[in-house]
Amino acid sequence: SAQDVDEVLWIADNHNVTITTFGDMMRVPGSKESLYQAQGRGVDVQVIYGISDAIKLAEENPEKEFLFFSVGFETTSCVTAAEVIRTKLPNFSIYASHKLIPPAMELLMQRDDLEFQGFLAPGHVSTIIGAKPYDFIPEKYNFPVAVAGFEPVDILLGIYALLKQFNENTSRVDNMYKRYVRHEGNVAALKTLEEAYVVADARWRGLGVWPNTGHEIADKYSHIDAKKKYEIPELETTDLHSGCICDEILVGKSKPHQCKLFNKACRPDHPIGACMVSHEGTCNVAATYEEIIWED
Ligand code: SF4
């Protein structure tokens, strides 16, 4: 959410901390500015390829403070978790903005303003958590799920599995990404997640705080938790730029071309909302492949 970007920038501004993060995060909008814009006014923001780069920077520059801005779902947060447990550097901390997929799916199902008939469960996350955490969806909600990979043929297989369940008037979890996803998941990775984090409420951009949909660093590792190391005041934040409907797009309620800023003021080379930033963002994909998507 914008609040995460705002808080990280507040830490940088008030404690002279170098921010390290992945390139994708640079243009994600905060309430007033992105990390990229803040870099332009002199904030030290360094793009890294992995948390180990951030730790190396902290080791090589003991006189400076470093913060790793860790954002993502179970796949990303798992790598960070290993360092939460292992790293003990006085000049290094982690700001965790980690989200959980299965409880977020459940909250979507509980909304009666959304129309969807099945879930394509994400392949990368499922390599960590497995297919098992989705079992409650057909059992409790009678809703079809297919775990799918990312190659075009994987997506087609996932859609095929959902349509098959739909036609058979049944619901189950079909694992169509068996070459990487096991039912039980990656047990060692799951143990690492459980050790490093506690389940907590999480802020979703434009959607507010959703209960039990995030991971925060566990109290026993508070020495590395930037949210505990720095006393961050309550900041006034704005999640969505005026006119941006990312909140509706994220839950499938609207399509990108229904936003009046789409491909006009908001473009891949000039993103205004978060959905336009990364190559995986819905608006970015729609803008990049617009002719293919909207062709009749
Ligand atoms: S086109 Fe831009 S402004 Fe509109 S919803 Fe997408 S990200 Fe937000």
Residues 36 and 70 in one domain: yes
* Amino acid in position 35: L
- Report d(CA 168, CA 188) in Å as an integer: 36
Residues 11 and 93 in one domain: yes
From start to end of the chain, where are the E strands? 17-21, 45-47, 65-72, 92-99, 119-122, 145-148, 173-175, 197-204, 208-217
Residue 81 lies in a domain: yes
Residues 114 and 162 in one domain: yes
- Which tens digit of pLDDT belongs to each residue from 142-167? 999 999 998 999 999 999 999 999 99
Residue 237 lies in a domain: no
Expressed as residue numbers, the domain containing 276 is 246-294
**Contact residues for 8 (Cβ-Cβ < 8 A; gap 6+):** 19, 35, 67, 69, 95, 226
Q: Which two tokens stand for residue 283?
A: 């608006």
Protein residue whose Cα sits closest to atom 6 of ligand 1: 283
SS3 96: strand
H or E element in which residue 14 lies? helix 2-15
ipTM of this complex prediction, to 2 decimal places: 0.99
Residue 119 lies in a domain: yes
Q: Which atom of ligand 1 is nearest to the CA of 283?
A: 6
Question: Which residues make beta-bridge pairs with 71?
Answer: 97
- Which tens digit of pLDDT belongs to each residue from 104-113? 999 999 888 8
Is 261 a pocket residue for ligand 1 (Cβ < 6 Å)? yes
Kindly report the CATH number assigned to the domain that includes residue 114.
3.40.50.11750
Q: Give me ligand 1 centre to Cα 87, in Å.
A: 38
Is 244 a pocket residue for ligand 1 (Cβ < 6 Å)? yes
Is 287 a pocket residue for ligand 1 (Cβ < 6 Å)? no
- Which tens digit of pLDDT belongs to each residue from 157-197? 999 999 999 999 999 999 999 999 999 999 999 999 999 99
Residues 107 and 94 in one domain: no
Is 250 a pocket residue for ligand 1 (Cβ < 6 Å)? no
Residue 24 lies in a domain: yes
CB 6 within 8 A of CB 231: no
